[in-house]
Structure 1
Amino acid sequence: MTRTVRDATFDVLRRHDLTTIFANPGSTEVAFLTDLPDDLTFVLSLHEGSVVGTATGFATALDRPALVNLHTTAGLGNAVGALATARVNRVPLVVLVGQQDRRHLAAMPFLAGELDGLAGRYPVWVGTPARPQDVPGAVARAWHEARDGRGPALVIVPSDDWSAPADDAPLPAPVVLRRAASVDPAAVDELAALVGDAAAPALVVGADADDEAAWAALVRLAERLRCPVWQESFAARAGFPQDHPQFAGHLPAGRARLRQVLAGHDVVLVVGAPVFRQYPFEQGPFVEPGTAVALVTDDVEDAHHSPADLAVLASPAEVCRLLAERVPDRPDAPLPAVSRTPAPAPPGAGEPLRAAHVMAALAARVAPETVVVEETPSSRPDLHRLLPARRPLGFLSAAMGGLGFALPAAIGVRMASPERPVVAVVGDGSSLYGIQALWSAAHYGVGALFVVLANGRYAIMDRLAEQRGGKPPWPAFEEVSVSGLAQSLGCPARRVLDHDALLATLDEVVPTLSARTEPLVLEVVVEPDPTFAP
């Protein structure tokens, strides 16, 4: 039997551990997907945003590229927002995009797509093989581009390419391209001099420091410096154990408050984060005059666009390990005064249930190794204050800011790490951007817990409109039942109306999270916090 491009591509997928295919199929992919070999696994999601979101969670948990298959213009177009999130979260994805039959593309037939450029600059690489026989090599290259560029790499494949005869040339070798592990000693010396001479240093950590080695190095460095440690705002992941006594909280997202927080520090060392991620535009500098800012990052884009006095482009874990060995210990320096937000008192008779009550109840029950996937804009500050990340990958969010990430990402994380409890905390408005993902959770037996905070409105948008002194034109949607939608998708769900029911349900469900194979949606009816300010 003649060896086909499809056969050769399957071998490439096997050699690069791309044996799970996340997809929502279309006609241009049928030739690739029909009668898959037994060692390849197909995972269906009911919308392309959920396809990419699930793959993003899967790749994040495994720390290696995942494979996505999208259907020509419609599929890629539907997935662009999720691909943007993968890029900003720096998650490697290999994305096969179907195209019409190569033999009549010149005539622009039905389903022919203008695909190169449709996703803008969010892919780290886009390949359009010149011949069918170039497809396997393009897929191999996409794996390397995705891994080294830390984002989605696309390969556009016409539907007839799969059945074409493969070349007799050997399979592309799995070239091992690794970043140099060594760190420039001169750069570390300069950084050590800057930080070691500081009278009042501070650390700011970010998503690119979210691994065991970086956490260990940063803890040692922070304890030698006896300085506060702040988390960057809008981070995709946590860069430091947030239950550590020197963890000071999350940086504010506006320049005025940022200057206040960092005032009094003569050196701010930022590790694994840009300098500085903000939300509203405000006039003025990021820090007060006289405060030096240094950056340690392995992301060249962050190094280029961050207004830092010194930037070191290298592994955050390795630089911080060396730095902790070189900076002088400061045993006599006072530890930073770090304030902690106490858990709110339970609501009294006639008082509404609020998001903070839910966060506090979760914090008191979930295990330290739990992965919390967040997408609840109006109650994110409550989550940050009350539900700390205590292990690497303990917190996951969409750094891009677009909605529709948390439900599918939680599913992907749990698929990749079935031994870890996974809890998604999602607003009801946010959940509707990716609600189709719940079908996949139910169908594939993914035992994640989805806590949906239901206030029947876009609360954060309401607050933003009120801050401008106006009235929002959008209505509430209190008639939407997320638990009803979940059940219609085959996913078990419960609706929780009061604090006692919340505690009873969590006491029942949380102990099962490590072993359960059935998802559960808890739609918790809450009142918006009237004091919340975005």
Structure 2
Amino acid sequence: MRTVRDAALDVLRHRGLTTIFANPGSTEVAFLADLPDDFDFVLGLHEGAVVGMATGWATAADRPAFVNLHTTAGLGNAVSALATARANRVPLVVLVGQQDRRHLANRPFLTGDLEGLAGVYPVYTNQPPRPQDVPGALARAWHEARLGRGPALVIVPSGDWAEPAEDVELPAPDAMRTASSLEERELDELVALVGGAARPALVVGADADRPDTWTALVELAERLDCPVWQEAFAARAGFPQDHPRFAGHLPSGRSRLRDTLDGHDVVLVVGGPVFRQYLYEPGPLLPPGVRVALLTDDLEDAKHSPAELALVAELPSLCQRLTERLPPRSSPIQPLQQGGSATSAGLAAQSGIPAGVGMAAGAAADPGSATGPALRAADVMTALARRLRPDTVVVEETPSSRPQLHRLLPARESLGYLSAAMGGLGFALPAAIGVRMARPDRPVVAVVGDGSSLYGIQALWSGAHYSCGVLFVVLANGRYAIMDRLAEQHGGKPPWPAFSEVSVSALARGLGCPAESVHTQEELGDALDRVVPTLPARTNPLVLEVAVRPDPTFQQ
């Protein structure tokens, strides 16, 4: 007899959902046991790691990933990671187990109130009314995840899988196309606005991180001869950050944002929100008289951005058509701050980092105190910058050192930088593993704070077990440095203690992942010289725990 499970597996095959990221529970065993040979099962030891790996995989593969979660406990543990997937605009099809529907009315053990548990973060949630509707719900979830660009949940009671597949309906279409182009007349207002600007500026976001969009944006920036800024807290790089037009990362505070864009009359935002902020500051977003237009393929950004004009369409063709219609400039425009993120003293000031810190390739490390580490985070970034190939994927989760990483490790190829747009911790370790699984042709390096690593440490077991050759560089300062700085800005002392007793390298080894500790510039250089050349073909991960001094300042 053909079962609902058989029909569901066919749906998953047809849509390329044959890698299952999961932490299994009893309500899913009927689905998972004795999987066909064409399905791969990837175990994570915590649901945050499961969803994080799937998010990295879907990002790198550029298609939806499939996740299996265990009823209330599994979905509840995964909510933060699902929120990150939604903020990063990553499509996930998420199967959530439920107790057998035949006695749900009696509220048996492990029954979950699941439909609202993940809040507004899923783009679609469905508990099919009958077992035969499960395959169709999974088919629709695949479309919803792609079109809504986020996690789509299907809740399936455990007894449904063995039910007969007769009368199975697949209400979702086999393929779906959406309108993605604009008429020429719809570009007229944009052309008039941008073409008439005296001092335009470009701001790029994570949604521009595709090779064809990069190509189109380079042509547009060179036609406008204007500076290009990256949105604050972007999950991905929207422009080649070693290009002469690249001017740096926008600050996330209103006062410095106004200072940065002062003097421009038109700001064209491509593939990002207008404008991402962090801590609240009073006052307007922009200086008086600055006009803003948004080009996006994300309807959500278009609806929430305070732009004068927003056009929703595919970004590469839209940027190319705009470039073709722009009149040539009568005189070149010099950026307010010269580009070249790894060498600009102006950008150092814009990032709140003293000019010259860690910028010289052979710079000596800060001698530090008699008892503290000699290395600073900037020294580690500089050492990596000297050695990493342009196609390296850098996965970042080091909040207090993010400005140094942006300044010293520019993204030089598409998918060169990946972070969590939501800001919740626990993303980088599992995401880096998922990226490597999907793109074994790309070297992958995760740069993570020790505090951040503890939110997703279980993922290291998966990285080792599935032979993912990721280099994890853990900046270990034994505290939540960014929280310490914020407390100081509020004029008080933090009540939380340091956790210098924690050894991430020891935890890694306990999870079966090779690890080393580094304390000096010489040890760091020797380790990177030995490991980095092996990254393209490496099959085992390595944690490099680097003792660093806490950064003394923080600016949003």
TM-score (norm 2): 0.94
Which residue is 1:419 aligned to? 441
Is the aligned partner of 1:365 residue 2:364?
no
- Once the two structures are superposed, the pairs formed by residues 90-489 of structure 1 within 5 Å of their partners are 90-169=89-168, 175-330=174-329, 332-336=331-335, 337-338=337-338, 340-341=344-345, 342=356, 343-344=359-360, 345-347=363-365, 349=367, 352-489=374-511
Conserved in 2, the CA contact under 8 Å of 1:491 and 1:519?
A: yes
Aligned length: 533
Paired letter, 1:398: A
Distance 1:285 1:437 in 2: 42
Partner of 2:25: 26
* Structure 1 stretches lacking a partner, 5+ long: none
* Cα deviation digits, residues 97-121 of structure 1 (max 9, x gap): 0000110000111000000000000
User: How many Å separate the matches in 1 of 2:168 and 2:100?
Assistant: 24
SS at match of 2:155: strand
| AA in 1 matched with 2:82 | L
Secondary structure class of the residue paired with 1:295: strand
Contact kept, 8 Å, 1:15 with 1:174, in 2: the verdict is no
Q: Cα offset for 1:379?
A: 0.1
Partner of 1:10: 9
Q: Matched residues in 2 for 1:9 and 1:448: separation? A: 33
Give the C-alpha shift of residue 529 in structure 1: 1.7
Taking a change above 3 Å as real, the CA distance of residues 320 and 496 of structure 1, as seen in their structure-2 partners, is same
Helix, strand or coil for the counterpart of 1:98?
A: strand
Identity %, equivalent residues: 73
Task: List runs of 5+ in structure 2 lacking aligned partners.
Answer: 346-355
The Cα shift of 1:261 comes to 0.5
Q: Secondary structure at the match of 1:483?
A: helix
Deviation at 1:186, TM superposition (A): 2.1
Could you tell me how far 1:173 is from its partner in structure 2?
A: 6.8
Q: What RMSD in Å do the two structures reach over aligned CA positions?
A: 1.3
Aligned to 1:35: 34
**Once the 2 structures are TM-superposed, how far is the Cα of residue 171 of structure 1 from its aligned partner?**
5.9
**Distance apart, 1:335 and its partner CA:** 3.3
Residues in 2 aligned to 1:451 and 1:364: alpha-carbon distance in whole angstroms? 15
Instruction: Give how far 1:329 is off.
Output: 2.5
The separation in 2 between residues aligned to 1:112 and 1:450, in whole angstroms, is 38
Instruction: Give the SS at the match of 2:387.
Output: coil
1:178 Cα deviation after fit: 2.0
Q: TM-score, normalised by structure 1?
A: 0.98
Which amino acid in 2 is paired with 1:502? L
Q: Deviation per CA, 1:431-485: give whole Å up to 9, x if none.
A: 0000000000000000011000000000000000000000100000000000000
Q: Does 1:58 align with 2:76?
A: no
Q: Aligned partners of 2:43 and 2:85: how far apart in 1? A: 19
Q: Determine helix, strand or coil for the equivalent of 2:530.
A: helix
Q: Distance in 1 between matches of 2:174 and 2:184?
A: 28
What is the distance in 1 between the residues matched to 2:425 and 2:166? Answer: 43
Q: Distance in 1 between matches of 2:90 and 2:384?
A: 28
Q: Displacement of 1:181 after TM fit?
A: 3.3
Measure the CA separation in 2 of the matches of 1:484 and 1:243.
Answer: 37
